[in-house]
């Protein structure tokens, strides 16, 4: 049985630079050089640069678009970009970025405030990991709501709003960080190949966990 494959889709990078006062013009010239560097790499689409809002902190935001995560990843690791980042330190105090391909990457991030070059696990792995976290969260929440008669007399729209708010908050701050740590050996970047045995082990463990929880929940119900 072959493992799922991902369709090629565009990838975008959102970058925040905190620029020192009085160095905005120099920063724009530096950013133009950075954009020119990206243009020479395969798959580049465009760059959008947003100036700081008047009166706010000097935070500049740029969006860099490539036609695939692979091409974006290639530019992120390129030597010319590394050199430009070093030279740009004189114009900005701090910077951080986030890349997007599936939209779920935030649930699998192990780092904050730093650069991450692995643009996330394959979409099918992220999907399985989310199911592993979502299934028990929703079932346990439903059982608790029923046991303690929470929102039982509410309208469907109101009860679903409360339920979704609680479940999404629980997933974001409690469940998915735990799932991400437990499956860290398996949730590797799609650009860092891992042995087939490791891939199979991750799928097997998730299947066993879901089967075990399903059995327990059926008995509880």
Task: Tell me the average pLDDT of the chain.
Answer: 83
Which residues touch 172 (CB under 8 Å, ≥6 apart)? 106, 107
Q: Which residue has the higher pLDDT, 24 or 118?
A: 24
Q: Which domains does the chain have, with CATH numbers?
A: 11-101 (3.30.70.100), 123-220 (no CATH)
Can you give the pLDDT at residue 18? 85
Can you give the pLDDT at residue 5? 47
C-alpha–C-alpha distance, residues 221 and 168, integer Å: 23
Cα dist. 2→94, 120, 205 in Å?
A: 44, 21, 18
Backbone φ/ψ region at 9: left (φ over 0), alpha (ψ -120 to 50), beta: beta
Tens of pLDDT, residues 181-219: 999 899 876 656 688 999 999 999 999 999 999 999 999
- pLDDT band of 54, cuts 50, 70, 90: low
- pLDDT band of 112, cuts 50, 70, 90: very low
Q: What is the value of pTM for the model shown? A: 0.57
Beta strands in the chain (DSSP E): 11-19, 44-50, 59-66, 92-100
Task: Burial-class residue 117 by CB neighbours within 10 Å (0-12, 13-18, 19+).
Answer: exposed
Q: Residue 178's Cα: distance from chain center in Å? A: 15
Can you give the pLDDT at residue 52? 80
């Amino acid at each position: 049985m072959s493992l799922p494959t991902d369709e090629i889709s565009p990838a975008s990078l959102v970058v925040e630079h905190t620029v020192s006062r009085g160095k905005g013009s120099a920063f724009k010239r530096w950013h133009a050089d950075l954009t020119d560097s990206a243009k020479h790499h395969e798959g580049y689409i465009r760059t959008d640069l947003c100036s700081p809002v008047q009166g706010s902190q000097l935070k500049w935001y740029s969006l860099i678009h490539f036609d695939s995560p692979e091409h974006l990843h290639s530019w992120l690791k390129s030597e010319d970009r590394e050199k430009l980042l070093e030279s740009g330190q004189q114009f900005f105090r701090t910077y951080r970025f986030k890349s997007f391909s599936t939209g779920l990457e935030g649930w699998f991030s192990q780092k904050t405030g730093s650069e991450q070059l692995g643009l996330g696990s394959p979409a099918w792995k992220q999907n399985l990991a989310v199911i592993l976290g979502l299934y028990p969260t929703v079932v346990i929440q439903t059982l608790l709501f029923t046991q303690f008669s929470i929102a039982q007399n509410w309208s469907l729209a109101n009860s679903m709003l409360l339920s979704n708010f609680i479940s999404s908050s629980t997933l974001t701050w409690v469940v998915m960080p735990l799932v991400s740590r437990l499956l860290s050996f398996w949730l590797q970047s799609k650009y860092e190949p891992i042995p087939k045995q490791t891939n199979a082990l991750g799928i097997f463990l998730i299947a066993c966990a879901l089967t075990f929880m399903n059995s327990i929940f059926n008995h509880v119900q």
